[in-house]
Amino acid sequence: MVSVDVISEEDDMMTVLFKDSDRALLNAVRRNLMGHIPKMAIDTVRFQMGTYDQCTKCEHLNPAGVARRTAGGTGCMKCEAAFEKEGDDYVVWETNYAIPDEMIAQRVAMIPIPTDPEAYYFEGDCPDCKDLVEEDRGCPTCNMIYTLRAFGAKGGKTITARDLTFLGDDSGNVPEAYRDIPITVLHEGQMIEFWATARMGYGVNHAKWSPTAGVTFEPRQTASIANDKKAKTLFDMGLRVSKKDFKDGRLDDVSKVSALKKDLHNVGAGTGMSEDFDDAITLENVEGEFLLSFETDGSMTPKAALNASFSKLEQRFASIKEDIEHVIG
């Protein structure tokens, strides 16, 4: 029976040890983590285009031209201040900037959207709108809507994920650690305005729907000292692992072994020490044991991603079993 132990866990990184397992299973988990975890990501961005005269008195945005005295306008549509001189009475803002809208949409898509798979459905499974034609789908149980309206400044102002506003409670806001992701830089007179829709999807269809990165696995290894005298070459360097960490010439602890592997780079080929050291410490794979490690992008915790991967695998294996039974039966 496969067992899984958590070796280390941080907000966005995790290492787990699989026992009684094999490479096929680990690879299935790895591929699932990358491509088959339900995740929210911004999928469509609707850009607002236009030019505005912003009232310097009340900051109201008036449609370009219509409020200006020179165009026969009667002043600010909110506070009625006269618009006579640009710069004094009003400032002109235009939705015009250096980066094309497509690139901005791509950047916004890659910003991690906090994903609660219990709270949202895929559009195709949504109880409220799955029966509608595809273009008409999208409701509060399957879409998350974000808006952004930002203005530039002299010398350039960086617009970041912090400027995205989620239309809903705090749970939908981009996590604090990721709010400095840049979207674009705006200069004086430049503004950007859009609303964006996040939908559930899978990493196999686009990287924005993959919550994980750097998913790797390797056999668990143990170390043993083959030659006490030569092993001293390494221990004398005073690095991460010392002789004391070994019990009867053996080292089993997972994190100590991984530290030792880093230490061994100091006595390996090309270091000038490899002859003195002469493979005095050897590493050995442990049968059926593997270390899986990965990072998440901030849209969910590593544990949530791993659990989602397990339940997805369970579903897929169950359906294969059903198919086989159907064929044989």
Mask for 38-57, x = binds Zn ion (CB under 5 A) = -----------------x-x
2 to 31: interface string for Zn ion, x by CB under 5 A? ------------------------------
Stretch that binds Zn ion, among 124-132, 161-169, 246-254, 295-303 (CB under 5 A): 124-132
Instruction: Sort 286 into a burial class: Cβ within 10 Å, 0-12 / 13-18 / 19+.
Output: middle
128 binds Zn ion (CB under 5 A): yes
Residue 128 burial (CB < 10 Å; 0-12/13-18/19+)?
middle
Nearer Cβ to Zn ion, position 138 or 152?
Answer: 138
* Sign of the dihedral through C-alpha 164, 166, 167, 169: negative
Which is nearest to 182 in space by CA: 196, 162, 165? 162
**Binding of Zn ion by 132 (CB under 5 A):** no
Query: Looking at 54, 65, 73, 78, which residue binds Zn ion (CB under 5 A)?
Result: 78
Residue count, binding to Zn ion (CB under 5 A): 14
> What is the SS3 assignment for 3?
strand
β strands within 248-301, DSSP E:
250-251, 281-296
> Which helix (H) or strand (E) segment is 30 a member of?
helix 23-35
Which CB atom, from 67 or from 148, has the smaller least distance to Zn ion? Answer: 67
Q: Which is nearer to Zn ion, 58 or 226 (CB)?
A: 58
For position 91 contacting Zn ion by CB under 5 A, the verdict is: no
Considering only 13, 47, 51, 60, the residue that binds Zn ion (CB under 5 A) is 60
Both tokens of residue 314? 């369970």
Per CB under 5 A, which of residues 197..256 are in contact with Zn ion? none
CB atoms near residue 105 (< 10 Å): 17
Could you list the residues that contact Zn ion (CB under 5 A)? Answer: 55, 57-58, 60, 76, 78-79, 81, 126, 128-129, 139, 141-142
